[in-house]
Amino acid sequence: MEAPSRSDGHAPIGDYAAIGDGRTVALVASDGSVDWLCLPELDSASAFAALLDPQRGGCFRLAPDERYTVERRYLDETNVLETTFTTGSGAVRVTDAMPLPLVGLAPDRELARSIEGIGGSVAMSWSVEPRFGYAGGNTRLGTRADRPVATAGSEALAVNSWGAGDPRISDDAIRGSFVAEAGDASLIALSIAHATPLVLPARREVAERLSKTIDFWRQWAARRHYGGPWREAVVRSALALKLLIYSPSGAIAAAATTSLPEEIGGVRNWDYRYSWIRDSSATLDALLRLGCPAEAEAFFWWLMHASQLSHPKLRILYRLNGVPRSPERELPLHGYRGSRPVRIGNAAGGQDQLDVYGHLLQTAWLYCGAGGTLDRDTAGRLAATADLICDLWRQPDSGIWEVRSTPAHFTQSKMMCWVGLERAGRLANDGRIPDEGLGRWQQAREEIAEFVSERCWSEERRAYMRFPGAEDSDAGLLLPSLLGYDDGAGGERLLSTARHIQATLGSGPLLHRYRGDDGLPGTEGAFLACSFWLVDALARLGQLAEAERLMDRIVRLANDVGLYSEEMDPEGLEFLGNIPQGLVHLALINAAVTLEEERGRR
Amino acid sequence: MIWGALAGGFVGTLVLTTGLRAATELRLTRIDLPFLLGTAFSADRIRARALGYGLHFLAGLAFASIYYAVFRAVDEASWGLGAIFGLIHAIFAGTALVNILLPLVHPRMATPFNAADSTPLLEPPGFLLLNYGASTPVAMVIVHLLYGAIVGEAVFLSG
């Protein structure tokens, strides 16, 4: 790979790899710069945000002084990144990880960069430029026990280096330089404290934590059930999801970043460091199908606890600690390649979206199907959710894509209401939830099916439309067929809709979500999760060979380390939107497992 | 009565600990006395913190006993006098006790003489504990004033 190039200080979005520890995630560009890190949690303020503002955001650079080429990979089946820089005079291997606190008195968070000279002699430079509070905090640099530290309020970060030159503080940065000869080993570790005194680690313990962290990831990956042809992509997706799982609660963040744009220079820049109810059924499905029962259990109960306060209504998204509020505000940052505003918080949290109720009941049904049991209170709440669907399904909503235009009767939302009532009926018939509302749920389900069949189907286009009277379809309509929506036509209408979506929203293997108005200026790229939904839908609707071919093409679109962002520009195949995007990786896993299952049925 | 002093010491430590925790949540300081005390005995963060809370409460009772001895010596106890003791206590803690004495006996606390290649070290507190944040001395004085006033009033009420 050629030396990476930056535009106005910005690396391409597809240039980032993610490392993390189950609490937060750092993004590392292929030129060795850590450009994104929020502390102490994934949804806290950033200490490094060069991703969104190269001048002010802060970063941790580490690279050779001379021109180089670069090769990257994750160490096999781990979330530990290995970057090899090759220069005219030699080669250096950098191993980046956020070690888990498995040895000794570990810091609150830790970011370790191990540097090995593997040939010749390479002059290296590094600089740590922390800017706490999304670069708005009063970051001070100083020393403790001869180690450089940066502090701001309750946050602190120490730079511990061994064999990486004498660190010096200059120009709001901590810098060092050294020459890596073949056989040399250096280590730079950031130890991070939140509301506690800093822990200044010993080299041996950092190295030991790094080694045990590699073992942990390998053991975790080895326990995932999937032996099909896309194992590498599936395991990478599982590892990416594990990075997005917030370990104290079990919630899964939609992505690790905020405000990476859906259109370069545009306004579609959102904070995805929240957990969306919309993603819940795909999340539980993927976790169960991959053999992650502990994560599935934690996620389900996080979902039930988080939604308890607003019961029976659901918020669209929740914070990772379960708090329902997500007030949106703008930050005075430059934005990725000038894409402003940079937002934190997410105003979509207060929208009405009917599909979330279907997802909640589908999630509960999957959980029970895997042997989970519901307590009486939870069972009652799920039955009340089904009752609420009966009350709400006739109302317009903002739909799965959280459009900011006038609410409409989105077909996908109605279908998901149908799925929710169907799952509630099954749960009641199995004695999992109270069955007093069964008759009402059945009746509402029939009314929804009639509404969808008569008002949302276009005989002319042979497809379900986005909403009654619309002239276009919506890739979100692929999703109900994956979740068991039965239109009474034996799948014929669903397959025909999938074909229509492919023809009208497709661009090569990529799909746009929709083309109609969504209340926002500008455009967006193709939505990568939709491509995997199409694979999944085609496989379930009997088009296995075509689905496999499409899967091959989309898997090849991942970046060099196997990650996806939310969207992709169909022309230049450049990543757009937040990264790594959980929904895309969930969709990849579910599509791969479906293909394997469908192949097994033949 | 000594029991009044001990009860006051318990309640005062409760208020002091809660006050410091609130100050950290308000991003005023990174001081964490239970963590500092507990890590003298354990490298396990959870165990250290649990142990540290126990030690901190014991220290609170011990200081209340010392306050009681001084109240007896001057034959007077009141919340105001207790608050003055608290102020002296805070200054002592910030300049000598936590700043100089704790690093000398704490096996994991960094000193100017350490090379940290064998064991992990804790960030030293610095003069007036300023390493843990510029507002730390203010937070320490406020919570120790409260602690002293509570002990003084408890001794006064218990006769």
Residues contacting B41, CB < 8 A, separation 6+: B48, B51
CATH dotted code for A13-200: 2.70.98.50
Per-residue model confidence (pLDDT) at position B115: 54
Lowest-confidence segment of A67-76, A349-358, B51-60 by average pLDDT: A349-358
Peptide bond into A341 cis (omega under 30): yes
Residue B114 pLDDT level (bands cut at 50, 70, 90): low
| d(CA B21, nearest CA chain A) in Å | 9
Q: For the segment A49-69, what is each residue's pLDDT rounded down to a tens digit?
A: 999 999 999 999 999 999 999
Contacts of A316 (CB under 8 A, 6+ apart): A276, A277, A278, A348, A349, A350, A351, A353, A356, A402
Report chain B residues whose CB lies below 8 A from the CB of A101: 45
B47 and A CB contact within 8 Å: no
Residue A550 main-chain phi, psi, to 5 deg: -65, -40
Q: From the candidates A198, A204, A208, which should be mutated to test the interface with B, based on the most B CB atoms within 10 A?
A: A198
The CA distance from A292 to A216, in Å, is 15
Q: How many CB atoms lie within 10 A of CB B135?
A: 16
A244, A324 Cβ separation under 8 angstroms: no
B125, closest residue in chain A (CA to CA): A197
- Report whether pLDDT(B26) > 70: yes
Q: How large is the average pLDDT for residues A447-455?
A: 96
Is B45 part of the contact surface with chain A (CB cutoff 8 Å)? yes
Using CB atoms, which residue from A160, A196, A201 is nearest to B35? A196
User: Which chain A residue has its CA at the smallest distance from B113's CA?
Assistant: A145
Q: What's the rounded mean pLDDT across residues A369-385?
A: 95
Which residues of B fall within a CB distance of 8 Å from A195?
24-25, 27, 30, 32
pLDDT of residue A2: 67
For residues B10 and B1, which has the higher predicted lDDT (pLDDT)?
B10
CB contact under 8 A, B35 and A156: no
**Contact B116/A202, CB-based, under 8 Å?**
yes
Q: Is A83 helix (H, G, I), strand (E, B) or coil?
A: strand
Does residue B110 sit at the A interface (CB-CB below 8 Å)?
yes
> Do B35 and A197 lie within an 8 Å CB cutoff?
yes
Structure-token match 């074909």, residue found: A499
d(CA B120, CA A166): 20
B115-141 pLDDT, tens digit per residue, is 545 567 888 888 899 999 999 999 999
pLDDT (average), residues A528-532? 97
- A42-46, A250-254, B118-122: range with lowest mean pLDDT: B118-122
Per-domain residue ranges for chain B?
A: 2-112+120-157
Q: Are A201 and B116 in contact (CB under 8 A)?
A: yes
Do residue A149 and residue B35 have CB atoms under 8 angstroms apart? Answer: no
* pLDDT for the residue numbered B25: 86
Confidence of residue A453 (pLDDT cuts 50, 70, 90): very high
| Closest CA of chain B from A434, distance in Å | 42
Alpha helices in A46-185 (DSSP H): none
Residue A405 has pLDDT above 70, yes or no: yes
CATH fit for domain A238-601, picks 3.40.50.1220, 1.10.260.40, 1.50.10.10, 2.60.260.20: 1.50.10.10
pLDDT given for residue A601 in this prediction: 83
CA atoms within 13 A on the CB side of A298: 16
pLDDT score of B112: 60
pLDDT at B159 over 80: no
Tokens describing residue A198? 């800093």
Beta bridge partners of B15: none
In chain A, pLDDT over 90 holds for what percent of residues? Answer: 87
Average pLDDT over residues A405-418: 93
Angle between helix B45-74 and helix B2-25 axes, rounded to 10 deg = 130
Question: Which residue, among B12, B17, B117, has the nearest Cα to A189 in the 3D structure?
Answer: B117
What is the structure's pLDDT at B100? 84
Question: What is the C-alpha separation between A169 and A171, in angstroms, rounded?
Answer: 7
Q: Which of B112, B114, B120 sits opposite A205 (nearest CB)?
A: B120
- Which is higher by pLDDT, A443 or A489? A443
Report whether pLDDT(B44) > 70: yes
For residue B16, name the pLDDT band (cuts at 50, 70, 90). very high
Calculate the average pLDDT of chain A. Answer: 94
CB A357 within 8 A of CB A417: yes
Q: Reply yes or no on whether the pLDDT at A162 is more than 90.
A: yes
Rounded Cα–Cα distance for residues B63 and B58 (Å): 9
Phi, psi angles (nearest 5°) of residue A551: -60, -45
The predicted model scores a pTM of: 0.93
Residues in chain A closer than 8 A to B39 (CB atoms): 105
For residue A3, what pLDDT band results from cuts at 50, 70 and 90?
low
* Chain A CB contacts of B122 below 8 Å: 105, 197-200
Residue A83 clears pLDDT 80, i.e. is over it: yes
Strands A147-152 and A81-87: unpaired
Find which of A75-79, B32-36, B134-138 is predicted with most confidence, using mean pLDDT: A75-79
Mean pLDDT, range A140-155, rounded to an integer: 93
Tokens of A47: 């200490």
Q: Which of A149, A151, A197 lies closest to B122 in CB terms?
A: A197
- Domain residue extents for chain A: 13-200, 238-601
Distance from CA of A92 to the nearest CA of B (A): 24
Min Cα separation B135/chain A (Å): 9
Indicate whether this complex's ipTM tops 0.90. Answer: no
Strand A59-64 with A109-129, pairing:
antiparallel
- The two beta strands, A90-97 and A173-181, are unpaired
**Binary contact (A202, B48; C-beta < 8 A):** no
Return the half-sphere exposure (C-beta side, CA atoms, 13 A cut-off) of residue A532: 28
Res A247: pLDDT: 93
A144, A157, A321: best to mutate for the B interface, most B CBs within 10 A: A144
Cβ A15 vs Cβ A29: under 8 Å: yes
Closest CA to A278 of A580, A569, A533, A579: A533
The Cα A77–Cα A90 span in angstroms is: 28
Give the model confidence (pLDDT) of A307-343 as tens digits: 888 888 999 999 999 988 889 999 999 999 999 999 9
pLDDT band at residue A171 using 50, 70 and 90 as cut-offs: confident
Gap between the Cα atoms of A282 and A589, Å rounded: 9
B117: nearest CA partner in chain A: A202
Band (pLDDT 50/70/90 cuts) for residue A98 is very high
Section A464-475 average pLDDT: 93
First to last CA, chain B: 6
Chain B closest CA to A275's CA: distance in Å?
24
The partner residue sitting opposite A193, judged by closest CB among B25, B30, B124, is B30
* A2: number of Cβ within 10 Å: 9
The residues, any chain, with a CB within 8 Å of residue B44's CB and separated by 6 or more, are: A105
A357, A419 Cβ separation under 8 angstroms: no
A198-213 pLDDT, tens digit each: 999 999 999 999 999 9
Contact status of B138 with chain A (Cβ, < 8 Å) = no
pLDDT at B113 over 70: no
Q: Is B49 on the interface with A (CB under 8 A)?
A: no
Using DSSP's 3-state secondary structure scheme, residue A468 falls into: coil
